[in-house]
């Protein structure tokens, strides 16, 4: 699976998650079939009508609708139709299409939460505007009966609105208090309820000051912060889900010689599964018939393909290269080695959640401080005025409102939204809320080799050292095979302008190589042992012409685009760069030299990788781990922050905090810069909020704070903070 | 000042109507595909006859 499509950023989270939930909830109607296709290349009005018309004209399709924001099409078809029938239709129209697994995309819960917050936000906004207009009349001098009337109307609007909109805060505050802890929602809930209650009391007594507008604008601004936060997470989650949904878990089951496509979940140990060349193994199993070569690079980092014949034990996630294999299932689904690895990752993940975000650290100082300050004001004024309860309470409420973390609530979400949007455009998907902050602290970068710094695609290195006629024979043989080494050899030879030699009787021997006749001479291209050569340390395909000594065509893994640029950028920022690979020393040393990494380790086992990362962490280094294979997952989870490319295995993507969507590595350097800038903005925002408080709190403590002053301070600080976040360009 | 008796309910009703319209739009999936909808309006497929 390759995801090279341009990163997409949808307009709003509710929009991106809503349709899926609707779709999965919808009954498919009279036995119809709901299919979901990802269309990474659609971009215009013309595309929508071409795709919809093309799909609707296909026999068996009942209806098709394109969602351009998500770049997806949902198709209702007659029962029995599959995505495989529709993908060629779309290919014919000029659009690349991939099937998505609707099961993985069940975003119902996130969708409901997003809509819920949006609805509360709308109610709070509506009520705030109305109450604010009524308050303007009071501020500009309405008195006596008019003022009381306006206060009563405000109360009638504000109280139900607060009861509805404030629920997320009240619920969070209650759950924190019930375990005897303080979080940001406790002072928020207290300020909102006290302000509303105090204002109602004042209104009953025909008092001069009512804070209904302040209570509502507080709710509104804080909900806006919550919504931004939710939106960022929902977009990341839905994009991550889409990556997972691209891998539709299917297998070819063979029963009595007949093949049928089944879901992996339906396989039981003992079933026979056919794995075609080029396919990934869906299960753990033992080879029953057939022989082939297996690419284990995603699991172990080894680039040398391994021979697999009858009786060989294979694990899920390995790639079958040359011949079809019939495999008896030993473990599938939740019991397969892939899944067990994913569970290990989950355990490692829970250990990492100890990181406290900047927002939490701020709340820990802030929440008790505010309460003490308000309590102090209450007691102080009670003593100073000789027991004027109403005045003292009024001032305490004013202190709570003025200090209330309106700006603090927006300080972090506004910045993370801006930063992750910016990184998303560059092709980096932030999966975790605190990943940006952790990324900003990094001082050491550890890379994996195969699939991360390299593409896992071989490239011939010594083509020009062989006689031209040998290369011609090799090309003729290589063109008959689907093996990646043969493909690479054929491609490079064609590029060099080599013609094919006239061969006869070319046959591929799965698991070994290709053989044929060159005039009278039998020729073979394949594994070292098969052509009678001694296998070396480097990846190679061997060619034997008749009885002559076999010659080796060696291969090196091609570095990923932007790998050199990324490493140069990281070094320029003063990062220590390390390379830890599970591959043999030869290829690792060569790549390290090519990319100018001086600190490298080869033949590292998965545990050794994780141990190396942990050792760095205990020495006080903050490690960024970049890796893609199953052998990296433990290290990814152990690192301070981790990145994996979109081509990585599911388990590795789950374990990492950030996913690189494109094939290019070069955004890495810029991502670190953006993360550091974002953290600086967050700090600035805290400083701005604190600055406002420093001016406003003495005023409130002295008893000069009016509802007008509270409204001004609140809006001004919220707007300043949001604008500062938007500066992140 | 007697005008307030009419004006305040009227303004609240109008605002409430706007709020209700937003709820309706949110529930009837009108924010599903903002990008696609902005392009669909340029589409002339169903100009001559309604969509079947």
The verdict on A699 touching B (C-beta cutoff 8 Å) is no
Q: ipTM of this model?
A: 0.79
Closest by Cα among A540, A538, A518, A521 to A530: A540
Question: Environment class of residue A334 by beta-carbon count within 10 Å: exposed (0-12), middle (13-18) or buried (19+)?
Answer: exposed
Would you say B32 and A69 are in contact if contact means Cβ atoms under 8 Å apart?
yes
pLDDT for A102 equals 67
Residues 1-52 on B with a CB inside 8 Å of A are 1, 4, 8, 11-12, 15-16, 18-19, 22-23, 26, 29, 31-36, 39-40, 42-43, 45
Q: Which residue of B has its CA nearest to A134?
A: B8
pLDDT for A143 equals 79
Can you read off the two tokens belonging to residue A476?
């003729």
pLDDT for A345 equals 56
Can you read off the two tokens belonging to residue A337?
């080695």
Q: What mean pLDDT is predicted for residues A239-251?
A: 67
Query: How many distinct structural domains can be found in chain A?
Result: 3
What crossing angle do the helices spanning A167-178 and A144-165 adopt, rounded to 10°? 60
**Interchain pair A69, B12: CB under 8 A:** no
Q: Does residue A60 sit within a domain?
A: yes
The string of pLDDT tens digits covering residues A209-218 is 888 988 898 8
Kindly indicate the confidence band of residue A120, based on its pLDDT and cuts at 50, 70 and 90: very high
pLDDT for A167 equals 93
Kindly indicate the confidence band of residue A200, based on its pLDDT and cuts at 50, 70 and 90: very high
Q: Does residue A311 sit within a domain?
A: yes
| Least reliable range by pLDDT among A329-343, A611-625, A676-690 | A329-343
The string of pLDDT tens digits covering residues A362-379 is 877 877 888 888 889 999
Shortest Cα–Cα distance, B49 to chain A (Å): 15
The residue of B4, B33, B39 whose CB has the most chain A CBs within 10 angstroms, and thus the best one to mutate to test that interface, is B33
Between residues A322 and A342, the one the model is more confident about: A322
Q: Does residue A85 sit within a domain?
A: yes
In whole angstroms, give the CA distance from residue A346 to residue A178: 28
Residue A216 Ramachandran class (φ > 0 left, ψ -120 to 50 alpha, else beta): alpha
Q: Which residue of B has its CA nearest to A112?
A: B27
Share of chain A above pLDDT 90, in %: 9
The residue of A56, A63, A73, A130 whose CB has the most chain B CBs within 10 angstroms, and thus the best one to mutate to test that interface, is A130
Q: Does residue A141 sit within a domain?
A: no
pLDDT for A461 equals 82
**Interchain pair A122, B33: CB under 8 A:** no
pLDDT for A18 equals 38
What is the rounded average pLDDT for all residues in chain A?
80
Can you read off the two tokens belonging to residue A332?
């599938």
The string of pLDDT tens digits covering residues A498-524 is 888 888 888 888 778 888 888 888 888
Share of chain A above pLDDT 70, in %: 87
Pairing of strands A325-331, A444-447: unpaired
pLDDT at A391 over 80: yes
pLDDT at A302 over 80: no
**Interchain pair A123, B43: CB under 8 A:** no
Closest by Cα among A70, A87, A103 to A250: A103
Shortest Cα–Cα distance, B30 to chain A (Å): 8
pLDDT for A340 equals 61
State which residues form the domain around A264. Answer: 250-335
3-state secondary structure A582-649: CCCHHHHHHHHHHHCCCEEECCCCHHHHHHHHHHHHHCCCCEEEECCCHHHHHHHHHCCEEEEECCCC
**Interchain pair A130, B11: CB under 8 A:** yes
Shortest Cα–Cα distance, A18 to chain B (Å): 6
Kindly indicate the confidence band of residue A701, based on its pLDDT and cuts at 50, 70 and 90: confident
Q: What mean pLDDT is predicted for residues A39-56?
A: 84
In whole angstroms, give the CA distance from residue A185 to residue A222: 10
**Active-site hit among A111, A213, A448, A657:** A448
Sheet holding A319-320, edge to edge: A306-308, A292-295, A319-320
Q: Which of A559, A591, A613 is the last residue of a domain?
A: A559
Burial call A55-75: b when 16+ CB within 10 Å, e when fewer: beebeebeebbbbbbbbbbbb
Kindly indicate the confidence band of residue A27, based on its pLDDT and cuts at 50, 70 and 90: very low
Q: Which of A509, A530, A559 is the last residue of a domain?
A: A559
The two counts, helices (H) then strands (E), for chain B are: 2, 0
Q: Does residue A159 sit within a domain?
A: no
Between residues B52 and A218, the one the model is more confident about: A218
The string of pLDDT tens digits covering residues A326-340 is 888 887 666 666 666
Shortest Cα–Cα distance, B39 to chain A (Å): 5
In whole angstroms, give the CA distance from residue A107 to residue A15: 12
Supply the Cα-derived Rg of chain A in whole angstroms.
32
pLDDT at A193 over 70: yes
Between residues A73 and A182, the one the model is more confident about: A73
Q: Does residue A483 sit within a domain?
A: yes
Q: Residue ranges of the domains in chain B?
A: 3-30
Closest by Cα among A185, A188, A215 to A199: A215
| Least reliable range by pLDDT among A9-18, A118-127, A600-609, A659-668 | A9-18
The string of pLDDT tens digits covering residues A545-596 is 888 888 888 888 778 888 888 999 999 998 899 999 888 788 888 888 888 8
Between residues A272 and A663, the one the model is more confident about: A272
The string of pLDDT tens digits covering residues A458-499 is 788 888 888 888 888 888 888 887 777 888 888 888 888 888
**Interchain pair B39, A70: CB under 8 A:** no
Q: What mean pLDDT is predicted for residues A651-679?
A: 84
Q: What mean pLDDT is predicted for residues A48-69?
A: 86
Can you read off the two tokens belonging to residue A550?
């076999």
Q: Which residue matches tokens 């209570």? A: A215
What's the DSSP call for residue A334? Answer: G
pLDDT for A416 equals 85
Q: Which residue of B has its CA nearest to A129?
A: B15
Pairing of strands A250-255, A576-580: unpaired
Is A448 a known active-site residue? yes
Q: Does residue A517 sit within a domain?
A: yes
Q: Which residue matches tokens 């039981």? A: A268
**Interchain pair A15, B18: CB under 8 A:** no
The residue of B19, B23, B31, B43 whose CB has the most chain A CBs within 10 angstroms, and thus the best one to mutate to test that interface, is B31
The string of pLDDT tens digits covering residues A426-456 is 888 887 778 888 899 899 999 988 878 887 7
pLDDT at A66 over 60: yes
H/E stretch holding A326: strand A325-331
Stated length of chain B: 52
Q: How many CB atoms lie within 10 A of CB A257?
A: 6
| Least reliable range by pLDDT among A257-261, A524-528, A593-597, A677-681 | A257-261
CATH number of the domain to which A293 belongs: 2.70.150.10
Would you say A661 and A427 are in contact if contact means Cβ atoms under 8 Å apart?
yes
pLDDT for A343 equals 60
Q: Is A50 helix (H, G, I), strand (E, B) or coil?
A: helix
Shortest Cα–Cα distance, A165 to chain B (Å): 14
Nearest Cβ partner for B29 among A22, A130, A149: A22
pLDDT at A654 over 80: no
Kindly indicate the confidence band of residue A14, based on its pLDDT and cuts at 50, 70 and 90: very low
Stated length of chain A: 729
Can you read off the two tokens belonging to residue A676?
């550091």
Q: How many CB atoms lie within 10 A of CB A394?
A: 24
- List CB contacts (< 8 A) between A45 and chain B: 39-40, 42-43
Q: Which residue of B has its CA nearest to A131?
A: B12
Q: Which residue of B has its CA nearest to A68?
A: B36
Nearest Cβ partner for B39 among A18, A22, A44: A44
Q: Does residue A658 sit within a domain?
A: no
| Least reliable range by pLDDT among A164-168, A234-238, A544-548, A653-657 | A234-238
CATH number of the domain to which A478 belongs: 3.40.1110.10
The string of pLDDT tens digits covering residues A526-550 is 888 888 777 776 778 888 888 888 8
Closest by Cα among A97, A103, A112 to A18: A112
In whole angstroms, give the CA distance from residue A305 to residue A319: 9
Kindly indicate the confidence band of residue A676, based on its pLDDT and cuts at 50, 70 and 90: very high
> In sequence order, what DSSP letters do the residues of A386-450 get, joined into one string?
TS-HHHHHHHHHHHHHHHS-HHHHHHHHHHHHHHHHHHHHHTEEE-STTHHHHHHT--EEEE-II
Q: How many CB atoms lie within 10 A of CB A392?
A: 20
In whole angstroms, give the CA distance from residue A570 to residue A615: 21
**Interchain pair A49, B43: CB under 8 A:** yes
Shortest Cα–Cα distance, A697 to chain B (Å): 35
In whole angstroms, give the CA distance from residue A622 to residue A352: 13
pLDDT at A109 over 60: no
């Amino acid at each position: 699976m390759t995801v090279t499509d341009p990163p997409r950023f949808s307009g709003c989270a509710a929009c991106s998650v809503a349709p899926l939930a609707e779709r999965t909830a919808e009954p498919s109607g009279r036995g119809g079939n709901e299919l979901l296709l990802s269309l990474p290349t659609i971009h215009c009005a013309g595309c929508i009508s071409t795709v919809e018309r093309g799909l609707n004209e296909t026999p068996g399709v009942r209806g098709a609708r394109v969602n351009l924001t998500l770049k997806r099409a949902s198709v209702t078809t007659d029962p029995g139709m599959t995505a495989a029938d529709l993908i060629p239709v779309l290919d014919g129209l000029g659009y690349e299409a991939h099937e998505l697994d609707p099961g993985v995309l069940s975003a119902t819960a996130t969708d409901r939460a997003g809509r819920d917050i949006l609805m509360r936000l709308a109610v709070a906004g509506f009520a705030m505007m109305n109450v604010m207009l009524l308050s303007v009349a009071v501020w500009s001098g309405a008195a006596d009966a008019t003022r009381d009337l306006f206060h009563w109307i405000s109360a009638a609007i504000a109280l139900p609105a607060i009861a509805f909109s404030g629920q997320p805060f009240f619920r969070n505050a209650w759950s924190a208090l019930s375990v005897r802890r303080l979080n940001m929602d406790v002072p928020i809930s207290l300020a909102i309820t006290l302000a509303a209650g105090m204002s109602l009391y004042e209104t009953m007594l025909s008092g001069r000051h009512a804070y209904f507008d302040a209570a509502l604008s507080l709710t509104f601004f804080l909900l806006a912060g919550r919504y931004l936060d939710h939106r960022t997470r929902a977009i990341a989650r839905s994009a991550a889900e889409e990556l997972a949904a691209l891998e539709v878990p299917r297998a070819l089951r063979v029963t009595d010689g007949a093949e049928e496509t089944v879901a992996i979940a339906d396989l039981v140990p003992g079933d026979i599964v056919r794995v075609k060349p080029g396919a990934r193994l869906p299960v753990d199993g033992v080879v029953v018939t057939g022989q082939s070569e297996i690419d284990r690079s995603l699991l172990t980092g080894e680039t040398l393909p391994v021979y697999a014949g009858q009786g060989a034990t294979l694990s899920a996630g390995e790639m079958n290269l040359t011949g079809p294999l019939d495999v008896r299932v030993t473990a599938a689904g939740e019991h397969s080695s892939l899944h067990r690895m994913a569970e290990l990752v989950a355990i490692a993940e829970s250990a990492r959640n100890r990181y406290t975000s900047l927002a939490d650290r701020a709340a820990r100082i802030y929440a008790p401080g505010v309460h003490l300050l308000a309590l102090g004001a209450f007691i102080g004024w009670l003593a100073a005025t000789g027991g004027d309860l109403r005045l003292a309470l009024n001032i305490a409420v004013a202190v709570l409102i003025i200090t209330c973390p309106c700006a603090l609530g927006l300080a972090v979400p506004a910045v993370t939204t801006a930063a992750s949007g910016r990184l998303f455009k560059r092709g980096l998907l932030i999966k975790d809320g605190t990943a940006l902050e952790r990324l900003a602290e990094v001082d050491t970068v550890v890379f994996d080799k195969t699939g991360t710094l390299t593409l896992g695609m071989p490239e011939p290195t010594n083509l020009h050292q062989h006689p031209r006629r040998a290369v011609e024979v090799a090309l003729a043989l290589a063109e008959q095979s689907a093996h990646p080494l043969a493909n690479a050899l054929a491609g490079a030879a064609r590029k060099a302008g080599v013609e094919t030699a006239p061969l006869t009787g070319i046959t591929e021997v799965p698991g070994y190589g290709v053989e044929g006749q060159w005039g009278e001479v039998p020729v073979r291209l394949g594994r070292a042992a098969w052509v009678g050569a001694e296998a070396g340390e480097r990846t190679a395909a061997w060619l034997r012409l008749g009885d002559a000594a076999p010659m080796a065509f060696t291969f090196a893994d091609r570095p990923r685009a932007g790998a050199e640029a990324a490493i140069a950028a990281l070094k320029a920022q003063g990062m220590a760069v390390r390379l830890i690979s599970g591959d043999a020393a030869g290829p690792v040393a060569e790549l390290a030299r090519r990319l100018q990494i001086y600190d490298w380790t080869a033949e590292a086992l998965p545990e050794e990788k994780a141990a190396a990362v942990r050792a760095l962490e205990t020495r006080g280094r903050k490690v960024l781990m970049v890796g893609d294979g199953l052998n990296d997952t433990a290290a990814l989870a152990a690192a301070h922050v981790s990145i994996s490319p979109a081509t990585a295995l599911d388990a590795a993507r789950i374990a990492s905090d950030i996913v690189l969507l494109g094939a290019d590595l070069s955004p890495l350097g810029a991502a670190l810069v953006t993360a550091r800038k974002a953290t600086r903005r967050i700090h600035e925002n805290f400083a701005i909020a604190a600055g406002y408080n420093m001016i406003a709190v003495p005023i409130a403590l002295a008893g000069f704070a009016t509802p007008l002053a509270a409204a001004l301070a609140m809006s001004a600080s919220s707007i300043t903070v949001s604008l500062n976040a938007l500066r992140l360009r | 000042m007697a005008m307030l008796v009419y004006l305040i309910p009227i303004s609240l009703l109008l605002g409430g109507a706007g709020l209700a319209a937003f709820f309706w739009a949110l529930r009837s999936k009108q924010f599903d595909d903002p990008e696609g909808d902005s392009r669909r309006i340029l589409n002339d497929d169903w100009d001559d006859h309604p969509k079947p």
